[in-house]
Amino acid sequence: MQAIFNGTVLAESDDIVKVDGNPYFPREAMNTEFFRESSHSTVCGWKGTARYWDVVVGDQVITNAVWAYDTPNPEAESIRERFAFYRNKGVTLA
């Protein structure tokens, strides 16, 4: 699977874990040059606390488009060291 924004591949991997309908890429699939850490965070009752990144390609920025659970709750251990993209923010998953 690839995550693409305006023709730029942000992440690519065949090792995808789906949780709640969202494909989670392994952290090593992240093309870090296109990600900027965000101070945003959220809490999911069963997964834990999520951290976020902005996607930055050239002068285009999508804020808080990517999230990960660095220390997920035991029920969500399958997504440790993985990240996912928000749908409908401009990143295509194919």
- For 50-94, write each residue's pLDDT tens digit: 999 999 999 999 999 999 999 999 999 999 999 999 989 999 999
Q: Would you give the DSSP letter of residue 33?
A: G
Taking residues 10-24, report their average pLDDT.
Answer: 97
Q: What is the model's pTM?
A: 0.95
pLDDT at 46 over 90: yes
Taking residues 1-21, report their average pLDDT.
Answer: 97
Distance CA 49, CA 35 (A): 19
Task: Kindly report the CATH number assigned to the domain that includes residue 56.
Answer: 2.170.150.40
> 86 and 61 in contact (C-beta within 8 Å)?
no
Q: Over the chain, what is the mean pLDDT?
A: 97
Split into its structural domains, the chain has a count of: 1
Residue 18 CB partners (closer than 8 Å, separation 6+): 24
Distance CA 48, CA 45 (A): 6
CA-nearest of 14, 8, 25 to 90 is 8
Range of the domain at 56: 2-93
